[in-house]
């Protein structure tokens, strides 16, 4: 079988490795327009914050690795056209400008996403940067060395992580967010207040409810960020306003959602049976709602990529969907989340409610302990767990994973209230905090039904 893989970061790399592990005889050609593969964007904040020394450590595979497995890897090759009827692709060798045509039996579309650049006046200023690729990361790092005041536009997880990195490296940092909270895809407003307080305690200037309307330069060569409320001056601006699926090549040829993300079935197959797609280019099945959604995360990309590599040989392994489970470390705290926030559950039309648990993670008689806050979101009609948000100095990221599995397995608050969990005073109380937050939800429901 002749397989063409277009784009090779996480989804593409996972697909190629999976195919060649299971079917080493497969003829695979990878076309990648960048000069590297497998770059972990999550390492950008770590590198800027000097937690990791070398940005190059953020690659976990190289073109040579894939070639050693048996793939033909065409770096700096930009795919310009795909003809799904003829099963052909056309691409440009970006070094020689030669046009190359190729054919496929199966195509794996892993072209990912690009930064959603808002159509704002002045955005093409050289001191306004985007943050995703290795080249962009290098540019941000080099440019930030020269400048003191950095402004981040967008309070999603990337914006918040970058704000921390710069605050830790002696920059003056401002964060401008159009909504009334940060991290709105992951946490509710009450949890966001804790995050905003933490940012402010660490000298990040946070501006909520401010929509950027334009960029300019003043007489002193500062970048002026104009918002619906004010003008802010800065030396450098980093725009972190989300991602858009990069799927132009297949427009009109496979089904897409209204934002242009490719719709795939549970075998990662598109509406064209010979084209599979994975990662940021396509939708995911979001288990808490049971509906397709766009959630550009590396977690989804590697799973879908590997599954595409399995399923091009037949409908072999289904994609289990996602809870978009995520975590970040911020000034020594862990903020972790999984599934739906209460606000998103209610706006999806669910009869949802939430409880908040606030206590020490292990007994006060231990030499040290830390407070943790857990918000558990559930469906009042069928008592299914819908989501959770966790905030603590203690490591609670793995607890978000546990609740993710509960959502995946359709557990109720009653299940979690008594689910088997270890007890040992080094780690928790006789009932683990996840049991306890669920017991709180059960008690709330009992009270309301009286
Ligand atoms: C700063 C930052 C931090 C992040 N942190 C996390 C995190 O902690 N956890 C997490 O799960 N996710 C995180 N993400 C999201 C994660 O990086 C993405 O979900 C992931 O990169 C998606 O992988 P992908 O392979 O689908 O697509 P992409 O990474 O977008 O890669 C697509 C590839 O396709 C190539 N390509 C595109 N078009 C063409 C073409 N026409 N011809 C040839 N090649 C082409 C591109 O050059 C690129 O290499 C983060 C993202 C950013 C920006």
Predicted confidence (pLDDT) per residue in 305-317, tens digit = 999 999 999 999 9
Supply the pLDDT for residue 118.
Answer: 83
Supply the pLDDT for residue 76.
Answer: 98
CATH number given to 117-239: 3.50.50.60
Supply the pLDDT for residue 50.
Answer: 86
The protein residue whose alpha carbon is closest to atom 41 in ligand 1 is 79
Q: Tell me: the pLDDT tens digits for 376-427? A: 999 999 999 999 999 999 999 999 999 999 999 999 999 999 999 999 999 9
Q: How far is the CA of 37 from the centre of ligand 1 (A)?
A: 10
pTM, rounded to two decimals: 0.95
Q: How far is the CA of 112 from the centre of ligand 1 (A)?
A: 5
pLDDT beneath 50, residues of the chain = none
Probe target for ligand 1 pocket from 249, 280, 302, with the most ligand atoms within 8 Å of CB: 280
Q: Is the CB of 354 under 6 A from ligand 1?
A: no
Among all residues, which ones are annotated catalytic? 10, 42
Supply the pLDDT for residue 170.
Answer: 86
Probe target for ligand 1 pocket from 11, 66, 112, with the most ligand atoms within 8 Å of CB: 112
Supply the pLDDT for residue 146.
Answer: 87
Q: Of 228, 217, 44, 43, nearest to 144 (Cα)?
A: 44
Architecture of domain 2-114+243-311: 3-Layer(bba) Sandwich (3.50)
Q: Is the CB of 241 under 6 A from ligand 1?
A: no
Q: How far is the CA of 10 from the centre of ligand 1 (A)?
A: 7
Q: How far is the CA of 113 from the centre of ligand 1 (A)?
A: 6
Q: Give the CATH fold of the 326-449 domain.
A: Enolase-like; domain 1 (3.30.390)
Q: Is the CB of 74 under 6 A from ligand 1?
A: no
Supply the pLDDT for residue 282.
Answer: 97
Supply the pLDDT for residue 144.
Answer: 83
Where exactly are the structural domains of the chain? 2-114+243-311, 117-239, 326-449
**Domains 117-239 and 326-449 belong to one CATH topology:** no
Q: How far is 385 from 399, CA to CA, in rounded Å?
A: 14
Strands in 149-153's sheet, in edge-to-edge order, are 128-130, 236-239, 149-153, 172-176, 204-207
């Amino acid at each position: 079988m002749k397989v063409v893989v277009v784009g090779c970061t996480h989804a593409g790399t996972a697909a190629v490795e999976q195919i060649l592990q299971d079917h080493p005889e497969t003829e695979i050609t990878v076309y990648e327009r960048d000069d590297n593969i497998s770059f972990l964007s999550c390492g950008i904040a770590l590198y800027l914050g000097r937690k990791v020394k070398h940005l190059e450590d953020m690659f976990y595979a190289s073109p040579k690795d894939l070639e050693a497995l048996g793939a033909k890897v065409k770096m700096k090759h930009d795919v310009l056209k795909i003809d799904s009827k003829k099963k052909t692709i056309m691409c440009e060798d970006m070094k020689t400008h030669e046009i190359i045509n190729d054919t496929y039996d199966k195509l794996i579309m892993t072209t990912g996403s690009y930064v959603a650049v808002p159509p704002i006046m002045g955005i093409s200023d050289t001191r306004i940067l985007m943050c995703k690729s290795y080249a962009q990361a290098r540019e941000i790092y080099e440019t930030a060395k020269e400048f003191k005041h950095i402004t981040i536009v967008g309070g999603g997880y990337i914006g918040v992580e970058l704000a921390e990195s710069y605050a830790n490296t002696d920059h003056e940092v401002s964060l401008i967010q159009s909504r009334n909270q940060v991290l709105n895809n992951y946490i509710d407003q009450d949890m966001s207040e804790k995050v905003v307080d933490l940012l402010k305690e660490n000298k990040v200037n946070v501006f909520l409810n401010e929509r950027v309307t334009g960029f300019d330069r003043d007489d002193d060569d500062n970048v002026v960020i104009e918002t619906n409320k004010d003008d802010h001056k800065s030396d450098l601006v980093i725009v972190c306003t989300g991602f858009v699926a990069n799927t132009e090549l297949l427009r009109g040829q496979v089904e897409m959602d209204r934002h242009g993300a490719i719709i795939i079935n549970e075998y990662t197959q598109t509406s064209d049976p010979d084209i599979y797609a994975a990662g940021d280019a396509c939708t995911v099945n979001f288990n808490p709602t049971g509906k397709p959604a766009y959630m550009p995360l590396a977690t989804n990309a590697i799973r879908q990529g590997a599954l595409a590599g399995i399923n091009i040989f037949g409908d072999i392994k289904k994609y289990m969907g996602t809870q978009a489970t995520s975590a970040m470390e911020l000034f020594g705290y862990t903020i972790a989340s999984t599934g739906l926030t209460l606000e998103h559950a209610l706006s999806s039309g669910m009869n949802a409610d939430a409880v908040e648990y606030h206590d020490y993670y292990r007994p006060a008689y231990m030499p040290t302990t830390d407070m943790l806050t857990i918000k558990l979101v559930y469906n009042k009609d069928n008592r299914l767990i819908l989501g959770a948000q966790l905030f603590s100095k203690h490591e609670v990221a793995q607890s978000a994973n546990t609740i993710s599995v509960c959502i995946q397995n359709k557990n109720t608050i009653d299940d979690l209230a008594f689910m088997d969990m270890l007890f040992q005073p080094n780690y928790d109380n006789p009932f683990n905090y996840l049991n306890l937050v669920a017991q709180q939800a059960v008690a709330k429901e009992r009270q309301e039904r009286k």
